A and B are shown apart, each in its own frame.
Chain A
Amino acid sequence: MTDPIYVTDALIAEDIDAYLEQHQQKSLLRFITCGSVDDGKSTLIGRLLYDSKMIFEDQLAALEADSKRVGTQGQEIDFALLVDGLAAEREQGITIDVAYRFFTTEKRKFIVADTPGHEQYTRNMVTGASTADLAVILIDARKGVLTQTRRHSFLAHLIGIKHIVLAVNKMDLVGYDKTVFDRIALAYRAFASEIGITNFTAIPISGFKGDNITALSDNTPWFKGPALIEHLETVEIGSTADEAKPFRLPVQWVNRPNLDFRGFSGQLASGKVKPGDAVRILPSGKMTTVDRIVTLDGDLDEAVAGQSVTLTLADEVDCSRGDVISAADAPPEAADQFEATLVWMADEAMIAGRAYWLKLATQSVSATIQQPKYEINVNTLDHLAAKTLELNGIGVVELSTDKPIVFETYGDNRTLGGFILIDKLTNATVAAGMLHFSLRRAQNVHWQATDIDRDMRASLKNQRPALLWFTGLSGSGKSTIANLVEKKLHRMNRHSFLLDGDNVRHGLNRDLGFTEADRIENIRRVGEVAKLMSDAGLIVITAFISPFRVEREMVRSMLPEGEFIEVFIDTPLAEAEKRDVKGLYKKARAGQLKNFTGIDSPYEAPENPEIRIDTTAMTPEEAADLIIDRLLG
């Protein structure tokens, strides 16, 4: 095919400077292609690269050889081989990750995110879509709108992509029949409006033959355009929309080369800024004005959304990484409880109540997630009841953070509304989230200041409050030793309280079972109660198996530094099982007890406990004395 769009060689050869000048003014469009291998997605991308001369002779020679060896198109060039990158993927003949491809035309530079289409790769598609301005949804003309079309459209809409292109592919295999195309476009329109997609562009194409890719095809005289590339080149992108929003700059790095310069570096998430503009630093709310916009190329008169700059401020105000410098008259809110949509991306399912790191713009906080309000079936869009989210699961949840974060709703601002969750132990990115709104209770429930504080209460009792947190296997001797410790403290006129695992489950926590999520909630509540008691000035003693390191760390973080004392009752499993005081190990071994720690549920031993008791080397009495020595000594 000859195509008018790429006849640029003449200008390159005749006047390279003119060509470069033209090229330098190009804008950038990022888009994602959605569809499965069967829809000819890789073939389409290969075709785009090929037609825009992004494939060189040596690559083409390799491609031709590969096509004959492993290709699926007989003796013809198999464009799919160009983009299926990793060796493992080539063997399986599928794409399993996100690959980024680049091509350029006269008017624009393009970055294409190529992601697999099957349901098990939902996370990959969401990842690719997160940076895209536009989505090309591929449909096989022979098959029409399928379940996966609905899924892809829903995901693209969910992630906030405003421009949808419906590429009806393989038109060559249906004889370029207009009625086939019309029927598909009509069916899609009905579905799209259901999920809130108000606007899309349908184009009949053949990636394999090249119809309506770069230019209108003679095979479809009934189609008046635009061709795919023409549409991609001319569609309006949202950068100007971002500039119209209020100014926000999440601070990445404080620039301090010497005592005379203090700048705040970051990328504008939205709006514009000029020297002299009044700004507010969030979350502190402090006001000042912008002094200079500093860059290596000299100071700027103005910076706009998308630019990376360094600002200096007129006053010496506190401002550090994580803060957001924003328009003084339209600042964003800060809150610590939210409703959000989560896309779960890890093999390990979400655990309600567990603390994860949450990263939003340049802010990192600890966050806990409630059990989902509902999960969304990505194929039917039905809302389903759910206790957790598995890999690729999408659900609506409530979450709370350990301190307020500056945010906007995802619909208003992707940068201040999109976040990731990170597992605290493995450091894996486990989920992507989009904030809907903050929950009222975070805004309206304030801390009530009291006149008598914890130090006054403790000094009246003549003691330092502490939390002795006993952890260890069932039957390790926690309760026995904890009880002895409390008796000794009592004799010494110390005010204490022993919170025992079994006892708490009869009252405060009787609504909780033994699933992982319930066990975490059990510990969280005990932690909160222990914290109140230590605020009251008491020495609190708890005896819970508390098998998970993360949960113990969660309680540690609730208390003032130094007050959480982890007491590891270290009894080997074989020894605890031999004792089997309550007969539980026998039941667990017989399969009558599920999720029993040490048998079919893990125990994560403390790495650096404040006190470690080896029960095979000392009596309970000796252990209790040792603990009291450490506590009071």
Chain B
Amino acid sequence: MLSSDLQTKSLELTHLDRLEAESIHIMREVMADAAKPVMLYSVGKDSAVMLHLARKAFYPSPPPFPLLHVDTTWKFQAMYELRDRMAAESGMDLIVYQNPEAKERGINPFDHGPLHTDMWKTEGLKQALDLHGFDVAFGGARRDEEKSRAKERIFSFRTATHGWDPKKQRPELWNLYNARKAKGESIRVFPISNWTELDIWQYIARENIPIVPLYFAAPRPTVERDGLLLMVDDDRFPLLPGETPVERSVRFRTLGCYPLTGAVESEASTLSEVIQEMLLTTTSERQGRIIDKDGGDASMEKKKQEGYF
């Protein structure tokens, strides 16, 4: 771990201090106009940082909104464990939503391809927001992740049908956010828009934020398929003829549904080593994600217009 003198703050605000202050400001600003806010919690490292910032923003009160996990039933077991623990620790309500139609039809990443993401995540999210009548949803997206996100506002408007129109975005000046909306419209708010992957890791280190152990390397059963290293997280994983899980020392740079998330071979088992590996690596973090690639170049932008986070 990092040496203890790293934890003491210098008098001048560092870039992490400034990012933290900005995110807290954004979260508090939401409370001025929101009728029923919710925080989308995906259990990944960005969600972990966002949740930590929310606890700071409203301390000593607990964050004045629930956590929403749009579940696909295909997340890693370790994610479910941390999710339940963090909800209990933060004193916030946890709402878990699973699209009943996807459940009934047994939609899964092995047999249904892109339909899996569409039904569990995109449709599931819309259904959950509509069901509870949430008018503002915090999300942990960062602008450095993907090109269309680089241009998205911190307060991002969605029509009554959850659509996003990149041409109709409101100008955002200074730290003034216009959170007014018509009935039926909702806002996605991204308080960590200006954080980079490195900032996230450094902040996790500085603040000792709990994250899913899958981010650290350990021997795990894996198979290699279509150029991705997939972890066999439970017995629902259908092995192809000739496939046998192989124990490899792997970790994950990003977490999603386990059959869709590629691992990297690694020996990095501490936070410092993970950051070290990240700084020395030559591929971007979303590279292990299948979701960005179907539909070609503007895939994420298209998904956002359809209502994906």
Residues of A within 8 A of B (CB): 9, 12-13, 16-17, 19-21, 23-28, 56-59, 83, 85-88, 90, 96-102, 104, 108-109, 111, 123-124, 126-127, 130-131, 239-240, 252-253, 255-257, 261, 263, 265-267, 294-297, 304, 306-308, 310, 321, 345, 357, 359-362, 414-415, 418-420, 422, 427-429, 432
CB distance A85 to B151 under 8 Å? Answer: yes
- Residue B244 CB within 8 A of the other chain: no
CB distance B171 to A123 under 8 Å? Answer: yes
CB distance A296 to B59 under 8 Å? Answer: yes
13 intermolecular pairs with C-beta atoms under 8 Å apart:
A19-B279, A20-B2, A20-B272, A21-B6, A25-B10, A27-B15, A86-B147, A88-B166, A101-B150, A253-B28, A261-B60, A267-B24, A304-B13
CB distance B151 to A414 under 8 Å? Answer: no
Q: For the complex, what is the distance from the CA of A253 to the CA of B302, rounded to whole Å?
A: 36
Residues of B within 8 A of A (CB): 2-3, 5-6, 10-22, 24-25, 28-29, 31-32, 55-62, 143-144, 147-148, 150-151, 166-167, 169-176, 178, 180-182, 193-194, 196, 198-199, 202, 205-206, 272-273, 275-276, 279-284, 287, 297-298, 301-302
Given contacts A20-B6, A127-B171, 4 further A-B pairs with CB under 8 A are A88-B166, A294-B59, A306-B18, A422-B178
Q: Which of A109, A266, A418 has the most CB of B within 10 A?
A: A109
Q: Chain B residues near A28 (CB, 8 Å)?
A: 14-15, 18-19
- Give chain A nearest CB distance to B33 CB in angstroms: 9
Q: For the complex, what is the distance from the CA of A96 to the CA of B166, rounded to whole Å?
A: 10
- Give chain A nearest CB distance to B308 CB in angstroms: 15
Q: Chain B residues near A13 (CB, 8 Å)?
A: 276, 280
CB distance B61 to A255 under 8 Å? Answer: yes
Q: Chain A residues near B193 (CB, 8 Å)?
A: 100
CB distance A104 to B196 under 8 Å? Answer: yes
Please give me the 7 A-B residue pairs with the lowest Cβ-Cβ distance, nearest first: A87-B298, A308-B24, A28-B15, A257-B61, A85-B147, A16-B276, A56-B284
Q: Chain A residues near B14 (CB, 8 Å)?
A: 24-28
CB distance A56 to B18 under 8 Å? Answer: no
Main secondary structure of the interface of A (DSSP, over half): mixed
Which one of A16, A17, A85, A295 contacts B148 once the chains associate, using CB atoms below 8 Å?
Answer: A85
Q: Chain B residues near A294 (CB, 8 Å)?
A: 59-60
- Give chain B nearest CB distance to A61 CB in angstroms: 10
CB distance B32 to A252 under 8 Å? Answer: yes
A23 and B202 in contact, given A267-B24, A304-B13, A308-B57 (Cβ under 8 angstroms): yes
Which one of A253, A257, A422 contacts B32 once the chains associate, using CB atoms below 8 Å?
Answer: A253
Q: For the complex, what is the distance from the CA of A56 to the CA of B287, rounded to whole Å?
A: 10
CB distance B182 to A427 under 8 Å? Answer: yes
CB distance A85 to B150 under 8 Å? Answer: yes
Q: Which of B143, B176, B202 has the most CB of A within 10 A?
A: B176
A239 and B21 in contact, given A101-B150, A427-B180 (Cβ under 8 angstroms): no
Q: Chain B residues near A98 (CB, 8 Å)?
A: 151
Q: Chain B residues near A21 (CB, 8 Å)?
A: 2-3, 5-6
Q: Chain B residues near A130 (CB, 8 Å)?
A: 173-174
Q: Chain B residues near A345 (CB, 8 Å)?
A: 171
CB distance B166 to A97 under 8 Å? Answer: yes
- Give chain A nearest CB distance to B233 CB in angstroms: 25
CB distance B173 to A26 under 8 Å? Answer: no
CB distance B6 to A429 under 8 Å? Answer: no
Q: Chain A residues near B57 (CB, 8 Å)?
A: 265, 308
Q: For the complex, what is the distance from the CA of A297 to the CA of B273, rounded to whole Å?
A: 26
CB distance A99 to B59 under 8 Å? Answer: no
CB distance A267 to B21 under 8 Å? Answer: yes
CB distance A256 to B61 under 8 Å? Answer: yes
Which one of A59, A101, A306, A357 contacts B284 once the chains associate, using CB atoms below 8 Å?
Answer: A59
- Give chain A nearest CB distance to B274 CB in angstroms: 10
